[in-house]
C-alpha cells in the first residue's frame, strides 16, 4: 500500500464549514479527513482520533503542517485500540518520528500484555515476557535476570508474594532483572518495582463479577514500569537499574491465604490479613524490600493498587504518593511535560498507623468495604513501612488511569499505557549526572 493510497489526515486551526455541524472536530476532503482544533488541544485531538477510529479506518497517514510530536501522539492514543495496535503513519523529521516509534514500541507492548486474557498470562509468563522485552531493546550483554518461583519464594523470605499466590496451581514468581551498561561493580542507580497480579479474584474477600471481569489488568503496574524502563533504555539510559516484578494470581483454593493469617516480612514487620483483596500492597512490600537491599537512591513502584485512588482522581489521572516532597514535585513536572495527567494525594509517616491490628504490627487494610476513608493514602502508608530512609528517594504511582473497562470519547476499551512516559522521564532525569 503506497502512502498516497492511505487515508490522509490533515490539521487545521480554522473552524469546519457549518454544513459539518456546529464546532465539528472533523470534516472530509478529497484525500481523507481534516481535524479542526482551536490551539494545541491534545485532548480534543484524541477525541477526533476516536471519531475517526469509529469510522472503521485501519490505516491513516498524518500529513500537512501543524503536527508536533504531542499532537501526533494524542492522535495515536485515540486511534488505536485493543484490536488495532498500529495503523498510524507519522509525519515530521526523522528525529520526531524516531521518538514516536519508540513510544509506539513500548506502549503497544505494555497494552498488548495488559489486554491478554488471564489464562494466557500466568505469573511465570509475565516475568518471561518482561525479561524478553527488556533484553530485546537493550544493548547486547547488558541484561541479566533471575526468577524466584513457588516454594523458593517462601524459602528466601519473600512471604508477601508467596502467600498471595499460593492458592493458584500456577506458582507466584518474582522477577529480578539487572540492566547494567557499565562495569560489573557499578552501583544500582535506581530500582523499579511493579505489581504483577495476573488475575485478582479478591481471594476469600471475593469480588463481585462486575468488579472481577476486568481483573486481568491488575498486572498493569508490572507492564507499565517494564515499558518505562524499555523507553528509558531506548532514549539513552546509561546507568545500572534493577527491575523487580512481583507476580501472582490471587485465587481461592484449599491452599489459599486466609483472613486472619499473619505474614512476617524480611524486615520483621508482621501483617494481619483482614482483606485478601488488598493483595497488591502485600506483593509490593517484597519488591520494595528487595529494592532497598540494592542501595539505590531512587526507588519507584507502579501498581493498579486501589479503587480509592480512582474515586479520588477519576480514570484520566494517575495518583502519586511520596514522603519525599521535592522528588514528588520533580516527578509531577515530568508528568506535565509528558502530557500524562498525574495528581499528588496525601502521604505522611503517620499513615503507617492507619490500619491497626491487635495481633500484628499492622493490618493490610481496614476491615471495611474499600478499606474505608483515605484508602489510597493508607495503602501508600503501608508500603512506606518497607522503604529505606523514611521514604527519601521513593515514589509510589497508583495507576488509576491504566485501564478502561469500556470505551469513551477519548479512549478505547482496555489498557492505556498512561504512566509509561512519566516513569521513563523521571528515571532518566533522576539518574542523570
- By annotation, the residues acting in catalysis are 207, 281
CA distance 54 to 79: 9
CA 156 to chain centre: 27
**Helix 220-234 to helix 420-431 angle, to the nearest 10 degrees?**
50
DSSP secondary structure string for all residues of 130-154: HHHHHHHHSPTT-EEEEEEETHHHH
C-alpha cell at 162: 508467596
Burial class (CB in 10 A: 0-12, 13-18, 19+), 51: middle
DSSP secondary structure string for all residues of 308-367: HHHHHHTTS-EEEE-S-HHHHHHHHHHHHHTT--EEE----GGGGGSS--SSSSEESS-S
C-alpha cell at 73: 501522539
C-alpha cell at 65: 503542517
DSSP secondary structure string for all residues of 278-321: --HHHHHHHHHHHHHHHT-SEEEEEE---HHHHHHHTTS-EEEE
Helices (H), 175-219: 209-212
Amino acid at each position: 500500500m503506497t502512502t498516497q493510497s492511505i487515508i490522509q489526515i490533515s490539521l487545521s486551526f480554522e473552524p469546519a464549514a457549518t454544513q459539518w455541524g456546529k464546532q465539528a472536530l472533523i470534516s472530509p476532503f478529497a484525500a481523507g479527513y481534516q481535524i479542526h482544533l482551536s490551539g494545541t488541544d491534545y485532548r480534543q485531538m484524541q477525541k477526533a482520533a476516536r471519531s475517526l477510529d469509529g469510522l472503521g479506518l485501519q490505516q491513516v497517514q498524518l500529513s500537512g503542517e501543524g503536527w508536533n510530536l504531542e499532537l501526533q501522539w494524542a492522535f495515536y492514543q485515540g486511534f488505536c485500540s485493543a484490536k488495532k495496535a498500529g495503523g498510524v503513519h507519522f509525519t515530521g523529521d526523522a528525529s520526531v518520528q524516531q521518538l514516536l516509534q519508540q513510544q509506539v514500541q513500548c506502549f503497544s507492548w505494555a497494552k498488548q500484555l495488559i489486554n491478554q486474557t488471564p489464562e494466557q498470562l500466568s505469573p511465570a509468563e509475565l516475568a518471561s515476557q518482561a525479561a524478553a522485552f527488556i533484553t530485546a531493546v537493550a544493548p547486547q550483554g547488558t541484561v541479566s535476570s533471575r526468577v524466584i518461583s513457588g516454594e523458593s519464594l517462601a524459602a528466601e523470605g519473600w512471604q508477601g508474594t508467596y502467600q498471595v499466590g499460593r492458592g493458584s496451581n500456577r506458582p507466584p514468581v518474582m522477577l529480578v532483572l539487572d540492566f547494567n551498561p557499565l562495569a560489573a561493580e557499578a552501583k544500582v542507580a535506581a530500582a523499579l518495582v511493579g505489581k504483577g497480579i495476573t488475575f485478582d479474584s479478591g481471594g476469600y474477600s471475593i469480588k463481585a463479577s462486575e468488579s472481577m471481569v476486568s481483573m486481568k489488568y491488575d498486572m498493569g503496574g508490572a507492564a507499565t514500569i517494564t515499558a518505562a524502563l524499555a523507553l528509558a533504555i531506548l532514549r539513552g539510559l546509561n546507568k545500572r537499574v534493577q527491575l523487580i516484578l512481583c507476580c501472582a494470581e490471587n485465587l481461592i483454593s484449599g491452599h489459599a491465604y486466609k483472613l486472619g493469617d499473619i505474614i512476617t516480612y524480611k524486615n520483621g514487620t508482621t501483617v494481619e490479613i483482614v482483606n485478601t483483596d488488598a493483595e497488591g500492597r502485600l506483593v509490593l512490600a517484597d519488591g520494595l524490600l528487595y529494592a532497598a537491599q540494592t542501595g539505590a537512591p531512587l526507588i519507584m513502584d507502579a501498581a493498579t493498587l486501589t479503587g480509592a485512588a480512582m474515586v479520588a482522581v477519576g480514570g484520566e489521572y494517575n495518583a502519586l504518593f511520596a514522603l519525599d516532597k521535592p522528588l514528588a514535585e520533580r516527578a509531577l513536572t515530568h508528568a506535565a511535560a509528558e502530557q500524562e495527567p498525574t495528581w499528588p494525594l496525601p502521604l505522611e509517616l503517620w499513615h503507617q498507623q492507619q490500619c491497626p491490628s491487635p495481633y500484628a504490627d499492622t493490618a493490610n487494610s481496614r476491615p471495611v468495604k474499600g478499606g474505608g476513608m483515605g484508602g489510597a493514602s493508607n495503602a501508600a502508608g503501608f508500603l512506606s513501612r518497607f522503604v529505606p530512609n523514611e521514604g527519601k528517594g521513593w515514589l509510589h504511582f497508583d495507576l488509576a488511569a491504566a485501564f478502561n473497562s469500556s470505551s469513551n470519547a477519548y479512549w478505547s476499551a482496555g489498557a492505556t499505557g498512561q504512566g509509561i512516559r512519566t516513569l521513563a522521564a523521571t528515571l532518566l532525569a533522576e539518574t542523570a549526572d
